[in-house]
Amino acid sequence: MTEYQPTAPYRGTRDFLPDEMSVRTQVFHRLYDVIERFGFRRYDGPQLEPAEIYEAKSGEEIANQQLYTLTDQGGRRLALRPEMTPSAARMVAGNAGSLQFPVRWYSHPNCHRYERPQRGRVREHWQINVDIFGSEAASCEIEMFELIDSMMRSLGADEDTFVIRVNDRQVLSAALTELVGVRTDQLGEVFALVDRWEKYDSERLAADAAEIGLDDKQFAGLTDVLAAGTSLLDELPAEVTGNSNVVRALRSSSAGLIRFDPHIVRGLAYYTSTVFEVFDTSGENNRALFGGGRYADLAGLFTPKQIPGIGFGMGDVTLFDFLDTHGLSPAPRSEVDVVVIPVTAELDDAARTVARTLRTAGLRTSVPLEPRKLGKEITRADRAGARAVVIVGAEEWQDGTVTVRDLGSGNQRQVPHEEAAETISTLLGTDR
């Protein structure tokens, strides 16, 4: 057991000091902006849900190994949410009568899983979830791929830094049964094998395949299917590929955004056809960043009405690993734009009057909380990242003026205090 450290967060969780929080806020706001430009609306739900909804819909790994569970005073078994999609399905099902389908929803919850902490995995993470509920059309897949591409590019990424790898579990099922000879009752185990295919050497994979019941010929056939890439689609009957939204996306104007890859199956139990993952292409961080897929009837746990959907979850841990790997993380914002400094304590009220004017103009403005010498306050303002200071002196204030100093050049001038906001906005290049 790890020794308790009173100033450290619980293992697998993180503290975010102001500089790091500034970077995170900038990144997330760029992503929100892109998502909302596609017409998605933000929602949220409770941290606690009945444990049964995850045990029914999230797959064995989450349900049996990663849930944080508790029993409340009424004897109900609850869980801290490990993911948002089951909650979203419950909310959609509960409000289906008042929704105009299809709906575009997104959220940014924090989620909890009892993971073994390592690079890319922690026990508490934040995840942007984006879903479309109520449509089976291939245009949903196409929109998801276009949205992901736009989100990544809003962070400075390009086609040399990431790739969207896409598959269809129904197409893969047909390939496994018709080309490899996998029995229907073996598909779940073979999917699990495919999901870890790129993590192990061929000897380990062959041994795992034998445990499932595949012979050497079937293992060779499975290897060929997974290596086939897009050419696999030509080996399957038209009635299989013709019904695939992934195939339709590959024939659309957005085909250049995605790469068909039979290795992608996704581990979560509720995905039924389209599945996709976004990968970092850097050799330093060559891993999946996030992913998603289509679910035919996730809301079926809560309503007899069939409500199909498609979505993805973008976790913060792998996202920031990606940004750091490619040098794309923004710099932290400064504490303030301007500091208003009274020369004496008697001028505190005057300084606050000026500060209120600057804040009304949209400038991030602070006033010293404790009296210090002017030189020390100017130094503190510079270290806080302020671009300017406004000095409130006794004689100048009597004359209705203040001194505005540009901390970059050191130049300063007196201006009427009513014009301080305009002067500083011009100095910052943000004439408001």
Annotated binding site: 83-85, 113, 127, 131, 266, 270-271
Q: Which residues pair with 218 in a beta bridge?
A: none
- Please state, in angstroms and rounded to a whole number, the distance separating the CA atoms of residues 336 and 389: 10
DSSP state of 345: G
Helix (H) and strand (E) counts for the chain? 16, 17
284-292 CB contacts, 8 Å cutoff, 24+ apart: 284/325, 285/321, 285/322, 285/325, 287/120, 287/318, 288/318, 289/162, 289/314, 289/315, 289/318, 289/319, 289/321, 289/322, 290/314, 290/315, 290/318, 290/319, 291/264, 291/266, 292/130, 292/144, 292/266
The rounded distance, in Å, linking the Cα atoms of 168 and 170 is 5
Cα separations in angstroms, 29 against 21, 36, 108, 155, 188:
12, 10, 11, 10, 39
Give CB contacts under 8 A, 24+ apart, made by 256-261. Answer: 257/145, 257/146, 257/148, 257/149, 257/164, 258/145, 258/164, 258/165, 258/166, 259/163, 259/164, 259/165, 259/166, 260/165, 260/166, 260/167, 260/229, 260/230, 260/232, 260/233, 261/165, 261/166, 261/167, 261/229
Specify binding-site residues for L-histidine. Answer: 83-85, 113, 127, 131, 266, 270-271
